[in-house]
Amino acid sequence: MAFEAKKRRGVIVYLYHLRQSKQLRRYGNLQYVSRKMKYALIYMDEVDVKKTVEKLKQLRFVKEVEISNRPDITTEFSKQDHQAYKLTEEDQEKFN
């Protein structure tokens, strides 16, 4: 039996009142609840995101739902990206 890591996605749920934040556990892993800004962060499987977001939007106590873009952002940076800027003569001396 091999361990397989499932792709996960964060969903930010803005609430009118925090009393119902415990009810969000049935939709995924409730990771964080901000009392000051009245939002909750839920992690769920990538394949269930669209279906679950539609269910969350229909709840009375939910103000707004946002899906995290973090998995879509590239995190690999190369030296070629930094070469787009030309270095001054002074900076070139530092690097050489």
The predicted model scores a pTM of: 0.74
pLDDT surpassing 90 at residue 14: yes
Task: Provide the 8-state DSSP code for 59.
Answer: S
Phi and psi dihedrals of 11, rounded to 5?
Answer: -125, 130
Mean pLDDT of 9-33: 95
Look at 89 and 23; give whichever has higher pLDDT.
Answer: 23
The reported pLDDT for the residue numbered 23 is 95
- What end-to-end distance do the CA atoms of the chain give, in Å? 53
Fold of 1-96: Alpha-Beta Plaits (3.30.70)
- Is the per-residue pLDDT at 22 higher than 90? yes
Query: Alpha-carbon distance 3 to 11, whole Å?
Result: 24
Query: pLDDT category, 95, cuts 50, 70, 90?
Result: confident
Q: What is the mean pLDDT of the chain?
A: 89
